[in-house]
Structure 1
């Protein structure tokens, strides 16, 4: 899926969740109810205990009064004191006093309240009313005095303390269980909301794969069903847009019979490769023509002729796949064109002979009993040579091959000098890797909305006898030799070292297809990135669309690992392979970098302008940035800015420079 780092809207920071609010409100209400119940129960028991104490004191006073009035002579202080001592020693009373008519104490005993077993703070809180019981002492018709008795509150405080502890424990248990059950209930009921939140965040990041399957209340189920339907509709809309644009691009740029590039699309890309100052690099153009195809068409019919062309295109496509950077197209009739970047004429002659033998065998089998042949002309690029001169030279070589009769290919300018053979190139590249002498060059990716470059693209260059060779000249050869992984490792080490020196500068690298496909390289790269620290987040890693298409599983593994490390990923050379946009749904990438082919002369090429505009619309709807490369004129950059490009690079905006010379 497309991936942007999750962002929280500033107004959402610190906002409480719905579950928290409901839990807080309902939990508070529950605790208030329990607290009210506790206070009420405590007050009831306190009143009850106080009444029991008052009744007990009154009973005691009555009993002592009767004893002093009838059993014992209340006028005798000694006898009265003895009775009071006996009653007091039972421990049931806090004080027992016998007062005369003037209020003077005749006899009495009192216990200090500090001897009570319950905590002082609890006694202060409970504060039981110690009502004194009173009874008169009489002798006949004469009043002798009054007995005042206060019950011992020890047992009352103990009972009230025990009851209070029970109430507290019961309240806590009931409250805790209630809150726990409430938490579970709210969690279960509101579970779809969390899933909906994740789905909404995914939709905000243009990921339409997220579905909510959790069931809850009827209302929430209806909301989740609507959200799932919306995600499905948006996903279909995106797929429909992608398929429509891919279809229009195929109609405008692909041959309907062979699936190879159309003549116009091939010429446009070849012009970029050959005439563009930025990408111009050594290579060879091959024109292939099937002799007697008109007779075959007349003998077997149009349908069989189309099947023949399709079969030939598959063989040519297999050749393209085995030679990195190569592209092919159909010109007209039974004529095809190939461009092999970085190839030397002598090597291209050998490869062309092998390809012609395969094509001749297939052609002869299908055309039997007709006599057939396959001819090819090869022309190398050269300084100051445009595609018109290149095609003229290849056409001349093709005519020479046709004059020879049988299947063959002819190389124009066979005596041209200054080219290394394959073994020489292998030795040069391998020596540069061993000596770690690859030079690092950088080129800025600029935006009209930012004063500073978004990042600097890093290129490797190889020191040649006269000038430093561009990556486009030797990287295709390194791919063929299986050395691209070593080159990429060396570039990564140098780039990470530079990021450590300049942690605020963002840099970008592009990985070779064989590097991405290699598990050993992926492990080495991820180990280096994991060890480098936080500066890795300033490294953009580019993976070509062609690599993603042919090594989808390996590319997916690498992209996921890079995203976990916080390393932004971009799709390099976007649009060249004609790959459907569907892979964007399953890869978390931060940007697309449109290939030079669609940028070159975009101010006069309406089809390319439409394609770039469509890519911008889809990518921006999914939160993905779009960059462009190969901007060489002010008119091209003006069109790109008008379309809303996020960044662009090219000789018009900033030429590459040696990083070590900065």
Structure 2
């Protein structure tokens, strides 16, 4: 798309705008008209002063001829010379000559034409004619000679110069006023065209919010109304598609009664969290069940039972909101499941008891006078324990809790706690930040039609006395301790250093929730990217969909600022945040990265495949790329390629490797 736009721009170089063409054409007509009027007027006044000059010469010649014929004896050279001197000195003449029949001068006066009070170039341009006026000198019946008179053109040149100055000034003033008025008129008339161009560009970028409100001529107004209507129609179409995708996500992944994740969706996400090499981390699975729910259902009916489940789900959803990365789902009947990443069993036990107490109060209020109880079982993750084993351990703990009549919680195998306590975790993370002990691991995002990866996803590692700790292990703890912003600053610094060494290998990072919400971090991030200059163009910044949901204003500020720097931004963990897809209408993301839980077994999951197909279609219609993560089998990758995915990542396509081990030629 960018290459096509560059080609179009190159073709348009040197092409005049419509306003320029109209201004040049109409302005040329106006200037031509004024110049024609000037030339005509100048020629008229030049002819007028020339006639005046010739008339003056004739009058002078006639007066001298009559005087020499009657008042003075023209045969007397001395008297004739005196008369000519007197006339020459009193008039404006260039020369006066009295010639006999042999064309010999009897008397005369003449001066040269030098300074006449006008520029020499103007005198050359005007070139007034100097006609010679003649008159006969006679005495009685005898012809004595001829008087020849040439008038001095100085006054004529001066008059013509003043007239020319006036004509030039008036022509320039009228022309300037006319051209300015024409410019203003064209600018006002054609102003909607620029707005239409901006709107068309916005539509090309899938932004349907632009409207043209400027009014002009009837024809242009019709075009603007049609464009506005088209933008409205496209916007409504996008909203309809967004609602459809949101509906599909809910149908495929949400429980219809409670709005929590369905059993299948929860199990898929739990498998990703627990078994994925990069995400596998400490955490606690919590199973909660309302005792004697079947009796409540029979006593109060299905509607009231659904109402109770909805109230319970609301309490659980509020609990999840206050624990970063946590998610919940409904298993079956009145059994609910929660997973708390980055939590040690001691804290999980305290929170579980608080949650059970609150749920017991809700259950008791609605079920009164029935006896009620709420039980919970907890199981912690540990190395070698997959999602199925973790679920079995939590289920066994739940059965132990149900062995007591009253509400309560039970933790599976509490004696096998191999995780650090909270203070140890705080020390490990703080020391890593202080000592800048953070290494980078890269995993390729592969596109079937490209030889090189689209980018490499960056995963961070911390070296501790117990070995290498993965991001999935320490990031939830860093979020909890408020240290994630410092970790992300260090991560961005290391990534920019890596880009400086390998500028042709784009990288992608994921920012923590608290980092995006922090104004100080956002300012530091923008300062780092501004200092890095063009290196930022090869850095994809990932923001999770849950962060968008909880920090919409902060995300909007960051996305717009990164857009101004030319840094591409993508939505991370797309599909699990529960956010309406319409946020893509207001924020300019360059890509979305589908969460692993939608990719797992997509070759056999018709609903997820249809959902992903719809996401790809609407994302591509807005120029947004779609990436997939967690591809572990050839069958999954084959389906993704069929759906037109822009890139995929997973163990089937390439495992993470230490960035320090990559050579320049790789």
- TM-score scaled by structure 1? 0.96
User: Counterpart in 1 of 2:376?
Assistant: 376
CA distance in 2, matches of 1:248, 1:612: 10
User: Counterpart in 2 of 1:653?
Assistant: 653
Unaligned runs of 5+ in 2: none
Please state how far the C-alpha of 1:66 moved relative to its aligned partner: 0.8
Q: Report SS of the residue matched to 2:90.
A: coil
| 1:278/1:650 contact within 8 Å kept | no
Map 1:15-54 → 2, pairs under 5 A: 15-54=15-54
Superposition RMSD in Å: 1.9
CA distance in 2, matches of 1:106, 1:445: 114
Q: Report SS of the residue matched to 2:233.
A: helix
Cα shift readout 1:541-565 (whole Å, capped 9, x = no counterpart): 1111110011101111111222222
The answer as to 2:361 corresponding to 1:366 is: no
User: Counterpart in 1 of 2:273?
Assistant: 273
User: Counterpart in 2 of 1:198?
Assistant: 198
User: Counterpart in 2 of 1:240?
Assistant: 240
- TM-score scaled by structure 2? 0.96
The answer as to 2:160 corresponding to 1:167 is: no
User: Counterpart in 1 of 2:406?
Assistant: 406
| 1:278/1:651 contact within 8 Å kept | no
CA distance in 2, matches of 1:603, 1:287: 29
User: Counterpart in 2 of 1:254?
Assistant: 254
User: Counterpart in 1 of 2:613?
Assistant: 613
Please state how far the C-alpha of 1:6 moved relative to its aligned partner: 8.4
The worse-fitting range, judged by mean Cα deviation, of 269-278 and 636-645 is 269-278
User: Counterpart in 2 of 1:75?
Assistant: 75
Cα shift readout 1:437-478 (whole Å, capped 9, x = no counterpart): 122222222322332222222222122444422211211121
Cα shift readout 1:343-393 (whole Å, capped 9, x = no counterpart): 333432332222212212222222222211111122233444333322222
| 1:278/1:630 contact within 8 Å kept | no
Q: Report SS of the residue matched to 1:451.
A: coil
| 1:4/1:205 contact within 8 Å kept | no
CA distance in 1, matches of 2:569, 2:179: 47
| 2:249/2:575 contact within 8 Å kept | no
Report the CA distance shift for 1:587/1:612 in structure 2 as closer, same or farther (over 3 A).
same
Please state how far the C-alpha of 1:287 moved relative to its aligned partner: 1.3
Unaligned runs of 5+ in 1: none
Map 1:142-181 → 2, pairs under 5 A: 142-181=142-181
User: Counterpart in 2 of 1:644?
Assistant: 644
Cα shift readout 1:56-91 (whole Å, capped 9, x = no counterpart): 111111111111111112122222222112111224
Q: Report SS of the residue matched to 2:64.
A: helix
CA distance in 2, matches of 1:404, 1:25: 95
CA distance in 1, matches of 2:654, 2:464: 23
CA distance in 2, matches of 1:24, 1:194: 19
Please state how far the C-alpha of 1:484 moved relative to its aligned partner: 0.9
The worse-fitting range, judged by mean Cα deviation, of 198-207 and 105-114 is 105-114
Report the CA distance shift for 1:449/1:101 in structure 2 as closer, same or farther (over 3 A).
farther
CA distance in 2, matches of 1:86, 1:492: 104
Map 1:293-442 → 2, pairs under 5 A: 293-442=293-442
The answer as to 2:581 corresponding to 1:572 is: no
| 2:442/2:458 contact within 8 Å kept | yes
Structure with the larger RCO, 1 or 2 (CA within 8 Å, 6+ apart): 1
CA distance in 2, matches of 1:610, 1:465: 47
User: Counterpart in 2 of 1:628?
Assistant: 628
User: Counterpart in 1 of 2:451?
Assistant: 451
CA distance in 1, matches of 2:485, 2:3: 28
Q: Report SS of the residue matched to 2:446.
A: strand
Q: Paired residues, what number?
A: 660
CA distance in 2, matches of 1:464, 1:654: 26
CA distance in 1, matches of 2:520, 2:211: 36
| 1:4/1:590 contact within 8 Å kept | no
CA distance in 2, matches of 1:275, 1:316: 24
CA distance in 2, matches of 1:364, 1:425: 39
